Amino acid sequence: MSVTLDARLLEILACPCPEHGALVVGTPEDSDADLLTCTSCDRRFPVQEGIPVLLLDEAVAGPGTPPSGSTDGVSTSR
């Protein structure tokens, strides 16, 4: 299932990481994933029932996410 968000909302959403990167729908590997991916740190945030969950504790580390020693609250166990 693909995430459907209003384009205006997607323009103003930003990753809660220190870089505050823009978010894109899906992942580089799966554009239909129910996730938003940070263009700066590669964290992936779930979208549940159409609502983005932009909590660092809920983030899934992507391949480009910095090592856990240099990030705050990135889950690498998912």
Spans of all domains in the chain: 7-63
Regarding pTM above 0.85, the answer is: no
Tens digit of pLDDT for each residue in 60-77?
Answer: 999 988 876 554 445 444
Q: What CATH number labels 7-63?
A: 2.20.25.10
With a CB cutoff of 8 Å and minimum separation 6, the contacts of 3 are 25, 26, 33, 34, 35, 36, 47, 50
Tens digit of pLDDT for each residue in 4-58?
Answer: 888 999 999 999 999 999 999 999 999 999 999 999 999 999 999 989 999 999 9
